[in-house]
Each structure stands twice: as C-alpha cells, then as structure tokens.
Structure 1
Amino acid sequence: MNYQSKLSIALIVLAIVLSGMAVLLAYESYVTSQSVKGEVEALGKQISNASSQISALGTSLSSLQNVGTAIQSLNSTLSQRIDTLSKQIEELKYPIQVYDALNRTVFITQQPQRIVSLAPSITEILFAINASNLVVGVDDYSNYPPAVLDMVKNGTIQRVGGFSEISLEKVISLKPDLVVGSTGVQYKFVYSLSQMGITSLSLKTESIDEIFSAILLLGKITNHYQEALTLVYSMKQNLLSTYSLVTSKTQEKPSVAYLVWINPIFVAGGGSFWSDVLYLSGGTNAFQNVSQAWPMISWEDLVSANPKVIVLSEYAGGFSNATQFIAWARSQPGGNNIEAIKEGRVYMFHGELNDMASRPSPRVIELQLALSLILHPDVYGAKEVPNDLTLDEVMNLTSTK
C-alpha cells in the first residue's frame, strides 16, 4: 500500500472519529438541553401551581372578607334594630299605648298584677324576664321553664285551655288585668276578651325582629325592662356567634322544608320566624316565597320545591320517627326525586327541641344551633347526625365548638 493510500485511509478514519465525536457532542448537547427543558418545564409547573394557589388564596381571602363583611353587617343591623326598639319602648310611660297585631291601640294604665298568657311563647318570655310572679294563668301547652309546671301543680297558676281552644270563662274567672295572646287562631279570643272590657294584647312574633320587640315591650309593661334588654342582647350575641361560625366555614345554604303536619301538609312559610332562623343557621326556607306563616301545601308542592333537608314535627301525621316518614315518602309519586328523601336528610325533632320549633321565644337560639348542626355537621366535626334528634344530642354534638 503506497503512502497516498495510507493517507487516504487515515483521513477517512479521522473523519469517522470526528463525526463520532460530533455525534457524541450533539447527543450530549441534546441530553443537556432536554434536561434543562425538563427543569424549565418543572419550574413552569411549580410557578403555575404557585400561581393557582395564590389565586385560590386570593379567592379564599376575598370570600372570608365577604363573610366578615356580612357578619359585621348583620351585627350592625341587629344592634341598630335593638337600639331603635329599646329607645322607642324605654320612653313609654304609664299609661302605655300599644299598637298590637290586631291593628288596635291598647292602653295599659299601670303595671299589671294578674297576667294570663294564651301562648307557650308568651309564657316563656314572661318567665325569661323574671315576671313569673305576675302570671296567674297559662294555656295547656305552656310547659317551659320547669317552674311553670311547678306553679301549675301548686295552684299558683291555672290552666285556661288549649292554644286554639281557650276557655273564656276560665280566663274571666282569674280576674286578669292583662291577657296576652299570639296571632292566628288566637285573634278571636283576644278580641272577645277586649269586648268584655278586659285589657288584652295580641303580639306578632313571626320574625327575629318581632320576637325582640315582644320581649322588650313585655319587659316595659311588666316593669322588667332591664331584664328584657339584657335578654335581647344575649340572644343577639348567641345568634350572631352561631351564624359567624357557620358562614366562616361554608358558603352552602341548603333549602329546608319544615313540615308541621303531614295529612294535610302544613309547612313553615315565608311569613314565619323559621325563615329568619334558617338564614342565621346557614340555610334557606324552601317555601320562603309563600307569604303565609304556616300555609297548607300539596304533596306535589313539596316534590316541586325539592328541599335538600326536611325537618318534621314530632308525631307529624302519625309518624313516630323519621325512618317511617322516609319509607312512606318513597312510596308517594315523585317521592324518590326529593333530594332530602334520596340522601336520607330527614330529621324529626323530639321533646324540648320539638317545642322550640313551633315557639318564637327566647329559645330560638337553641333551635338555630340544632338547624346549623343538621345543615352543616362538618362545622361541628360531627360524622353523623341522628335522624331522630333531641336537644341533649344537639348540645352534645355541638359542645366542642
């Protein structure tokens, strides 16, 4: 092999080696670029995730600010209403002139000494403001506080009949200087007693505002105004505390139907105090748009409303527990389409809790607590809420918060 041939072969080998080195360098560059690219992509994802987290945090902070604003607004509204009511009522002097739920002007010339209460909610208010010594008669359903039962037992207080079956003769025999009744079916009793010359007052208590007003007014009339004012402010703080707890942890507001009776079906409408209590519990009234306080509805109306939660009055329609009602509801047309039935979110209130559900009294704070528990159990760390609920169970399940 001559020199030129050897040189050619050497050049070819060198070219191959150089090509190989170029390939290796190119591959190394590629690997490096891919690594850098991967790192850049990973960094990009981290930045994107961080951005999402910052955005979510911003939304969360904004939400919390909105909740905080709502709480402050509610606190301000309640405080202003109480201040306005207290100023209006505190200025009243005997003879006190009252404009009652019957659209009448009632004159109370002096502090009553013999009061007859025609409704459990009125009785609870009178006892809560320490005016029990002025009460001589109550309806058959007044059973709280326990002192009522003690005074009935020892004869200090007399029963005057059922809520819708008041005995006028019994009331008259007690020689009252003031009779206080509720609205609805009790209108006729209050009016009849007034016609007989007995000072009678009909109080409307179908909103938180009206409950506050009734407490303050009865406090003024009975000369227990300071106790009444203290009670109202205490109620406001408790209502606001539960509302703040719920709304700071969830924005969900499930719709609720409260069934007072089943056959026919009576519910809490938009004109009842339930609408206010549900709002303060983190829910909405499924029949908010019905202006009546306790309207009668059809089964089809209930199916159409499709509440997420159903609350039952004790023994409503003959059912002794929530399970019986659920089984019956599933057998009715469209029953399985109701969200509350499908999810088993049907609750029957028992005992004291059942009484609270129908009484616009100072105990609405316990009712609010019970409703907030069944609507938002996670807020209280409750894994399960019994479908048949008592006040003791409510207090136990909410005691950690």
Structure 2
Amino acid sequence: MKKIIVCLLFLLPLKLQALKIAALMPSHAEIICSIGMCGDLIAVGSYCDWPKELESKPKAGDYFKPDLEKLYSLKPDLVFLPVSLNSTAASDLKKIGLKVIEIEPEKNIGDICFTAKKIASYAGRDREAEKFCLKLNLEISKFKPKKRKKIFYEIDSGFWTAGGESFLSDVLSKAGGRNIFEARKENYFKVSWETVIKENPDIIISNYSKPEYFYSLPLADKVSAVKNKKVFLLEKNHRDILVRPGPRIPRAVKKLSEMIDE
C-alpha cells in the first residue's frame, strides 16, 4: 500500500519554481503582470511604466537595443522579445547565453490572447492566461458599432501609419472606425499627405501632431476630417494604451469610440 501511495505522489503535478523573467516590450510586461507573474520580473524595458509595480523594476534597455551588460548580470531564465527583422537584439542576447523567447507581433486583438498563452506556457500559468483571455474577449464584445467612419491614424510624425497587418486596424474597427490603409498588407509604413487627401478620412487621430498642423497643410480643406474639425491629438496616457497590445486595449477601444462619436 505504501508503495502505491509513493507512486501516486510522483504522478501529481510538481509545483513549478518561480522563474526569473525579463520583458523588454511594454505590452509583454503588462500581460505578464495581468496573469499573475509580475513578481517574476527581474528586469523590464525602459518604456515599461504600467502597472505601477514596474516602476521599481531594474531597467534593461529596450526591445531594439537591450542593455546586454545589465541582463547578463541579472541572469534571467527567460527574456521575452518581439520578433523583429530590424534588430539584432535576440541574437545578441543568445550570444551571451540567455534564453530568448521571441513573440510574433499581434495582427489583431485576438492575437493578444495568443501572446498571453505563449508567455503563460513557460511558467505553468495556463489557467491564468485563460481567465485573462475570457475577460479581454468579454470586454471587447461589448463594443458593437453600427457605423464605421474612415480614419487616418498617424502613429508617428511624418505620416507614419498602420496597415492591415497591425492590430491597430482591428482596434479602430471595434471602436467604429475603418483604417483607410487597412487594405495594405503591412504593419507600419510611411505615407504622403497627398495619399491621405485621396483617401479623404472622416477623422484624423495623431499620436504627436497637433490639429493645427493638419489644418495648415496644403489642400487640407479638401479633407472631411479637417472641414468638420475632426482632428485629434492623443494624450500620452491614451496613446500608450492604444499602441500597446495588452490588457488595457478595451480602454483604448472605449476612448476611440468616444472620439468617433463626438
């Protein structure tokens, strides 16, 4: 009987040891905290500022240029990074012996759950990830816009915007908008003002450019958004929740829907 009990004990799931994790992308850090792993973070990126618990965490550069010396000294078990064709961050970290988990950029809101589940799978937090996804999907399902207005979203100065391969197109759609460049199968790219005029958006939203800037551009009076004074500059707190595909995306959808309906 004693042998049987011992054998059964071996079949029980072992309690996983806490991992030492580094997350250099703000959205990854926010997701990690949302699935109960904030205490496992020993380093975060320089732009990781939410939730408040992250403010006291050691900063280790960012996801394009990590602080290799800092990370090597901290020796995390895992470093989470976004897949990037324009950065050597992952290969640089691997060269100093760190285990890097690369995560594909989110193309829609549903991919936020994929990211959460992938992160959770390395720490035995699958149940927490499921709860996170249920909550996220429930909050997003509350938004049911009846009309869709054409939107130009300038994510960075110089007419940088998002295409159909970016989760931002999905966010705009859920809020009652339609990204005027959603047909382009790219994530982020630069366009010309002439192209924006041709698409004639109903609303212009910018992360950095003030409405007055758009009002002063050539042929601005030909654009519906300008004629109807529907040009908005996002405040930093609203900008952050919009560009980070994480737990605060429902707040971003709510804010956008208010701007669209204004």
Specify the TM-score bucket, using the shorter chain as the normaliser: 0.7 to 0.9
Aligned to 1:256: 151
Matched, 1:176 2:76: yes
Tell me the distance in 2 between the aligned counterparts of 1:351 and 1:326: 16
- Other-structure match for 2:54: 148
Partner of 1:272: 166
Q: TM-score, normalised by structure 2?
A: 0.88
Which secondary structure does the structure 2 equivalent of 1:159 belong to? coil
> What TM-score comes out, normalization by structure 1 length?
0.58
Question: CA offset at residue 338 of structure 1?
Answer: 1.3
* Letter matched to residue 232 of structure 1: C
Q: 1:291 aligns with which of 172, 179, 185?
A: 185
Contact residue 63 and residue 81 of structure 2 kept, 8 A: no
Distance in structure 2 (CA, Å) of the matches to 1:202 and 1:370: 30
1:333/1:146 Cα in 2 relative to 1: closer, same or farther (>3 Å)? same
CA–CA separation in structure 2 for the residues paired with 1:221 and 1:112: 11
Contact 1:115 1:179 (C-alpha < 8 Å) held by counterparts: yes
The match for 1:370 among 244, 248, 255 is 255
Relative to total residues, which structure has the larger helix share, 1 or 2? Answer: 1
* Cα distance change of structure 1 residues 167 and 185 upon mapping to structure 2, 3 Å threshold: farther
- Do structure 1's residue 223 and structure 2's residue 108 form an aligned pair? no
CA distance in 2: counterparts of 1:340 and 1:129, whole angstroms? 40
- C-alpha change, 1:304 and 1:111, in structure 2 (3 Å) is farther
- Name the CA shift for 1:112/1:181 in 2 (closer, same or farther; >3 Å): farther
Determine which of 166, 169, 189 is the counterpart of 2:66: 166
What root-mean-square deviation, in Å, do the aligned CA atoms of Structure 1 and Structure 2 show? 2.0
Residue 270 of structure 1, CA deviation? 1.3
Alignment of 1:338 onto 2:233 = no
The residue identity in structure 1 corresponding to 2:19 is Q
Kindly provide the amino acid, as one letter, of the partner of residue 49 in structure 2. N
What is the CA distance between 1:195 and its match in structure 2?
A: 3.5
- Secondary structure of 2:49's counterpart equals coil
Match in the other structure for 2:235: 350
Change beyond 3 A, Cα 1:112–1:300: farther
**2:93 aligned to 193, 206, 231, which one?**
193
Aligned residue in 2 for 1:326: 211
Cα gap change, 1:374 to 1:297, in 2 (>3 Å): same
Matching of residue 308 in structure 1 with residue 202 in structure 2: yes
Q: Which runs of 5+ in 1 are unaligned?
A: 1-92, 95-109, 320-324, 378-401
**Whole-angstrom CA distance in 1 between matches of 2:212 and 2:186:** 29
Choose the corresponding residue for 1:126, options 18, 27, 32: 32
Percent of aligned pairs sharing the same letter: 24
Change (3 A) 1:208 1:172: same
CA distance in 1, matches of 2:20, 2:217: 51
Q: CA deviation at 1:219?
A: 1.7
Partner of 2:153: helix, strand, or coil? Answer: strand
Q: Is the 8 A contact 2:64 2:87 kept in 1?
A: no
1:213 aligned partner: 114
Mapped contact 2:172–2:178 kept (Cα < 8 A): yes
How many pairs were matched up?
248
